[in-house]
């Protein structure tokens, strides 16, 4: 479901205190804002509350700065932090890739057709292979080769692009390099990675061929925020696809690519639509 062109998003979180929903909804009513969608969750173990509200101002002269200033004292009473996202907001992103193009292709299509409210400011890669694809879309393409000896220098160049473009989100669309602890820390909560999820787990070269040899019946993908533990950051979305004895290794690879595309796109959409809250090492995700 696409968001209406005139709706704002308000996200907030605070300790689990009585009146958390009321303080949001009452203020919106007093401000003549009509709620079109609302989801909330109270984590009883962490004693923390999360809420996401889409609303449509009924007055043409709605002023977000005034709204923020008037709600801030009420939010402070609950220890609540909150953010507003405008209807026409487009999240600036950098996409990082290696040689595989399926996830990049999918993101570029959704970007070009307006399905994802993002603004792609650059594509960064450790290989030159996908430059023609970025060129066709009129996007800057940065080729930064990397070896074990040049990793620190290469990541400094990557960080330079991230800073220069002023992006909010970095998407690792099958970027086949392990990021350093320093870069993971800098990008905490604003870098999404995608990887296959095969059970039992298969690591190393040709994981789908290993899975075929063991007769697996499910292939899947996991999209998560990066952290210093390889492929173990807070999970945003996961997807699975059934396979059977009639599927050969190349079939598993193709099904894996399909589920990776969809799972990554869904994770990016949830992030840019402000549906994801970090909750320690877990996430709260208000799905559509």
* Highest mean pLDDT of the ranges 100-109, 207-216, 227-236: 100-109
Terminal Cα distance for the chain, rounded? 7
Residue for token digits 């009883």? 44
User: Which pLDDT tens digit goes with each residue over 180-218?
Assistant: 999 999 999 999 999 988 756 777 778 888 888 989 899
> Do 134 and 221 lie in a common domain?
yes
Integer Cα distance of 80 and 8 in angstroms: 19
SS3 277: strand
**15: its two tokens:** 């300790």
Residue 3 lies in a domain: no
> Do 53 and 130 lie in a common domain?
no
Q: How much of the chain, in percent, has pLDDT values that exceed 90?
A: 86
Region 82-109: mean pLDDT is 97
Region 246-273: mean pLDDT is 95
SS3 65: helix
Decide if pLDDT at 47 tops 90. yes
**What pLDDT, on a 0 to 100 scale, did the predictor assign at position 200?**
63
Decide if pLDDT at 101 tops 80. yes
> Do 263 and 207 lie in a common domain?
yes
Kindly indicate the confidence band of residue 35, based on its pLDDT and cuts at 50, 70 and 90.
very high
**What pLDDT, on a 0 to 100 scale, did the predictor assign at position 171?**
98
What domain range is 167 assigned to?
91-285
Q: How many domains does the chain have?
A: 2
Residue 67 lies in a domain: yes
Nearest to 40 by CA among 65, 14, 59, 58: 14
The residues assigned a catalytic role are: 231
> Do 18 and 102 lie in a common domain?
no
């Amino acid at each position: 479901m696409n968001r209406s062109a005139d709706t704002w998003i308000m996200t907030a979180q605070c300790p689990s205190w009585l009146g958390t929903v009321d303080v949001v909804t009452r203020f919106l009513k007093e401000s003549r804002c009509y709620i079109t969608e609302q989801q909330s969750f109270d984590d009883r173990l962490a004693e923390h509350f999360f809420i996401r509200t889409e609303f449509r101002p009924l007055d043409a002269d709605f002023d977000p700065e005034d709204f923020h200033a008037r709600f801030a004292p009420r939010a402070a009473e609950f220890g609540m932090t909150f953010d507003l996202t405008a209807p026409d907001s487009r999240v600036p992103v950098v996409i990082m890739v290696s040689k595989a193009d399926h996830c990049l292709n999918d993101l570029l299509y959704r970007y070009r057709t307006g399905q994802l409210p993002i603004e792609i400011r650059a594509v960064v890669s450790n290989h030159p292979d996908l430059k023609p694809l970025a060129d066709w879309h009129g996007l800057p393409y940065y080729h930064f080769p990397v070896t074990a000896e040049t990793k620190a220098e290469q990541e400094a160049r990557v960080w330079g692009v991230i800073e220069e473009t002023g992006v909010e989100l970095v998407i690792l669309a099958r970027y086949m390099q392990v990021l350093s602890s320093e870069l993971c820390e800098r990008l905490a909560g604003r870098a999404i990675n995608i990887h296959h999820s095969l059970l039992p787990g298969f690591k190393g070269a040709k994981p789908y061929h290993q899975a075929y040899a063991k007769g697996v019946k499910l292939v899947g993908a996991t999209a998560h925020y990066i952290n210093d533990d390889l492929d173990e950051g807070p999970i945003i979305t996961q997807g699975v696809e059934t396979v059977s004895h009639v599927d050969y290794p190349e079939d598993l690879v193709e099904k894996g690519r399909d589920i990776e595309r969809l799972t990554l796109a869904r994770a990016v959409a949830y992030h840019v639509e402000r549906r994801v809250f970090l909750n320690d090492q877990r996430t709260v995700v208000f799905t559509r």
